[in-house]
Amino acid sequence: MSISKACKQISTASKAFSTKQQLMKYEELTRLMDNKEFHADMHEALDHHFEVLVMATMSAGKSTLLNAMLGIDLLPSCNEACTSIVYRLEDQDGMAEFQCRAVVGETITDWQPATLKTLSEWNSGGVCSLVDVAGNMPFIKNLGARLVLYDTPGPNNARDERHAQVLRNIMHNQEYGLVIFMLSVTNVSTTDERNLLEELLKLYKKSGRSKKEIIFVLNKVDEIDEGNGESLQLLMSNVKSYLKDVGFSSPIIIPTMAHAAKLFRMAARGENLTRHQRLELSSQLDILKEDPFRLLKITQLDSEIHKEINNGIKGKGHSLLHIPTDINTSSSIKVGNQVITKTELESAVYSTGIHTIETILEKMICKRALPESMKRVSAVMRKHGAKLLNQWLK
């Protein structure tokens, strides 16, 4: 037999074997699709969460940061101790609007539309221990698990010692995959903050968790007046030294302008900003126009994230604005008497540091939660005898 003829026969046999394998996989798949128990098991396997604890002393900007990620004013935020309960925010892709419910004693209320008014009433009412908020966080992809963010009260409210106990309960009892620790430019290295950092470090050492599971967000960096001799780079260096002195050897620090990011995204949605908010938005845009790369230049990131943020600032990134369809055809957005281009707003959002945090969260979900999700799916496949499909997944 000639070599060419032998090769032809091998090729024919290979194709036949390949077709047979595909048919067997198809038969496995159709069998599983008719199996209600398989559907229930697979749903449970994919119902996986990546939980993030957002913590700080009071008034560091936790709720403002989360509102900026949501793109709306939903969680109560103010310039003094504001959050008095735990908010659990679950990213549910595909939901048209945010829903909420409250845990009151042994009772859980029914789901209802989430509004700032409702959440503020529950926050100040003194009867809720936990508020669940579910909805689509449009700027974060759930790649392998659903993101869950916990907004916690600052522990240093002298008027209400329960705040400290609420935070410590969730610190010690919750199985979270990451901590976002908020630092405020206007209030860094206080005694209360250092005590909280030392408690967190002690907890991590006791549990054997990696200190790289903590991200430090330095918020309100727009308060630094570099034109008046203040230096953002020097501040970042001092904060790094401070965290190292506490015991965090290689802290990841992300400088942000959370309030500005929230205003930009609210404007893009066509929300009616107050006169004060419009003035703030204009002022923040002016700050970023002076040096759009101001925050990126002092942030240590891996090359992939750095490139994504850099391209976004240059106007080459994907959209970070949730713009309603009725105003989506226009290339500009009117805020009061001011007309702002979408490109200008997009670039500004990238410059605030908010999407740096969102990108890190996406990568953490993919790195830490996705492998666990695939293990759970593989276990379901083995349980239901889907050997071929299970091998294909691997």
Digit-coded pLDDT (tens) for 178-200: 999 999 998 888 898 999 999 88
Quote the CA–CA distance of 192 and 195 in Å, as a whole number.
5
The reported pTM is 0.83
Whether pLDDT at 18 is above 70: no
299-337 pLDDT, tens digit each: 999 999 999 999 999 988 887 776 665 555 567 777 777
Residue 112 pLDDT exceeds 90? yes
Task: Tell me whether residue 391 is in a domain.
Answer: no
Distance, CA of 162 to CA of 166 (rounded, Å):
6
Q: Whole-number mean pLDDT of the chain?
A: 83
> Which CATH number covers residue 172?
3.40.50.300
- 55 lies in a domain? yes
Asked if 74 and 80 touch (Cβ cutoff 8 Å), the reply is no
Range of the domain at 212: 45-256+353-372
Q: Is the dihedral of CA 124, 128, 134, 139 positive or negative?
A: positive
CA pair distance 298, 172, nearest whole angstrom: 33
Per-residue model confidence (pLDDT) at position 328: 56
The answer to whether the beta carbons of residues 342 and 331 sit under 8 Å apart is yes
Averaged pLDDT, 170-185? 84
**What domain count does the chain have?**
1
Is residue 5 domain-resident?
Answer: no
CA dihedral 135, 139, 145, 148 (to 10 degrees): -50
Q: Give how far Cα 369 sits from Cα of 46, 257, 292, Å.
A: 11, 28, 33
Tell me the pLDDT band of 40, cut-offs 50, 70 and 90: confident
> Is there a domain that residue 393 lies in?
no
Residue 237 belongs to a domain: yes
> For 70-86, how does the pLDDT look when each residue is reduced to its tens digit (9 = 90+)?
999 999 886 544 556 88
Dihedral sign for Cα 128, 129, 131, 132, please. negative
- Is residue 307 domain-resident? no
The reported pLDDT for the residue numbered 126 is: 75
In a domain, 91, yes or no: yes
pLDDT of 369 strictly over 80: no
Q: Does residue 34 belong to any structural domain of this protein?
A: no
**Which of 52-66, 252-266, 304-318, 331-345 comes out lowest in average pLDDT?**
331-345
- Are 252 and 216 in contact by the 8 Å Cβ rule? The answer is yes
